[in-house]
């Protein structure tokens, strides 16, 4: 019997929080690579908040996943069989093969990984898209100066943890915002942030104000919602707000009730000369060599630490993704789809 390839496909566009029934599991025979192709086996699948946007019918900044298509996602894979020049069976590669066991590749967008340089899982985490997002968003858009106060939401997450640690390296006072107490403890204890405020505080605005006695110069926006509202009045003159994500809003099915706070937001933008800038990492490919050089060095120095939340088995991907959107992961969320041969 031929080996089978499990795929998780989009069955229905999501409305509000994705339901298990929005996904469907399909099995097909593992495909055979033709000339100019290689077959890759997925080791790690990265789960990231942006995937929620791909479950909407309209386009976001990228094309959505179509009904009956495999869910997209960054992956770390091993080459099983190669008819493609330059790639050989056994090599570990960074791919974007999505939520499935196996996939064919023509090598486009594929990068070889050196298991001796760093754990291969980091290629979709601290040394991958989330870390790169943190690096560019903070340094190029946030432009922190030593002595300034940097606040980052989703502070124990794949992006936020790197943002805060780089801000510390830049000499800033760094305040995280996270949910669970243990996440806050990790952020201050392990990652070295100066403070961390739980968004579950009864009076979040007051708690954040107390943690930011000199106001906020850079707010790295990952979440939106009530966290954004608590940050807003604390923004200093000339504050910068890189807008990276809005996870609290991704499942909104309609705008929240009034009043309309846009006039207040824009009035504050004017009076305090604030810059809000949306950015997406795919626009910044030219900074990737700088990122890889700097963050790899910082990891070796121990100045950047990371934590992975690894879920075993593709069949648990849907539940893990649902948990991600509820903030239940603790660190960079990965699915181990098959054994990591480098560990």
Alpha-carbon gap, residue 136 to 71, rounded angstroms: 26
- Cβ neighbours for 285, distance < 8 A, ≥ 6 positions apart: none
* Cβ proximity to a second copy, 33 vs 245, nearer residue: 245
253 binds a second copy (CB under 8 A): no
Burial class (CB in 10 A: 0-12, 13-18, 19+), 314: buried
245 binds a second copy (CB under 8 A): yes
* Cβ proximity to a second copy, 115 vs 267, nearer residue: 267
Number of residues near a second copy (by CB under 8 A): 42
259 binds a second copy (CB under 8 A): yes
Q: Are 58 and 65 in contact (CB under 8 A)?
A: no
**What DSSP letter does each residue of 200-232 carry, written as one string?**
TSTTHHHHHHHH-TT-EEEEEBS--HHHHHHHG
123 binds a second copy (CB under 8 A): no
Of the residues 202, 270, 286, 289, which one makes contact with a second copy according to CB under 8 A: 270
Alpha-carbon gap, residue 227 to 232, rounded angstroms: 9
Of the residues 145, 226, 273, 343, which one makes contact with a second copy according to CB under 8 A: 273
Of the residues 262, 285, 286, 302, which one makes contact with a second copy according to CB under 8 A: 262
Q: Are 244 and 219 in contact (CB under 8 A)?
A: no
Contact positions with a second copy (CB under 8 A) in 14-53: 53
Q: Are 11 and 26 in contact (CB under 8 A)?
A: no
256 binds a second copy (CB under 8 A): yes
Q: How far is the CB of 149 from a second copy (least distance, A)?
A: 19
Q: How far is the CB of 54 from a second copy (least distance, A)?
A: 12
The residues binding a second copy (CB under 8 A) are 53, 60-61, 221, 224-225, 228, 237, 243-246, 249, 252, 254-280, 283
């Amino acid at each position: 019997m031929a080996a089978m390839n499990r795929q998780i496909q989009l069955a229905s566009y999501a409305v509000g929080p994705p339901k298990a029934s929005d996904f469907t599991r399909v099995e097909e025979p593992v495909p055979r690579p033709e000339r100019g192709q290689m077959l890759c086996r997925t080791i790690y699948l990265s789960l990231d908040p942006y995937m929620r946007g791909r479950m909407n019918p309209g386009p976001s900044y990228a094309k959505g996943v179509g009904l009956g298509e495999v869910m997209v996602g960054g992956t770390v894979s091993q080459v099983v069989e190669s008819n493609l020049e330059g790639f050989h069976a056994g090599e570990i590669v960074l791919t974007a093969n999505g939520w499935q066991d196996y996939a064919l590749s023509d090598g486009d967008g594929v990068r070889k990984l050196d298991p001796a340089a760093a754990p291969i899982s980091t290629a979709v985490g601290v040394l991958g898209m989330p870390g790169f997002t943190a690096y560019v968003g903070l340094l190029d858009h946030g432009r922190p100066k030593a002595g300034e106060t940097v606040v980052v939401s989703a502070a124990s997450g794949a992006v936020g943890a790197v943002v805060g640690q780089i801000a510390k390296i830049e000499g800033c006072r760094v305040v995280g915002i996270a949910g669970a107490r243990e996440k806050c403890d990790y952020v201050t204890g392990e990652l070295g942030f100066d403070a961390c405020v739980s968004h579950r505080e009864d009076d979040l605005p007051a708690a954040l104000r107390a943690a930011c006695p000199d106001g906020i110069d850079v707010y790295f926006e990952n979440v939106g919602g009530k966290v954004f509202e608590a940050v807003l009045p604390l923004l200093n003159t000339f504050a910068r707000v890189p807008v990276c994500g809005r996870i609290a809003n991704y499942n909104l099915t309609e705008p929240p009730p009034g009043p309309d706070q846009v006039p207040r937001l824009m009035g504050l933008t004017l009076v305090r000369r604030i810059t809000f800038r949306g950015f997406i990492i795919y626009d910044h490919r030219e900074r990737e060599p700088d990122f890889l050089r700097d963050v790899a060095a910082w990891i070796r120095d121990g100045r950047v630490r990371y934590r992975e939340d690894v879920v075993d088995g593709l069949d648990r991907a849907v539940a893990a993704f649902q948990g991600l959107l509820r903030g239940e992961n603790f660190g960079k969320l990965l699915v181990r789809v098959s054994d990591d041969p480098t560990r």
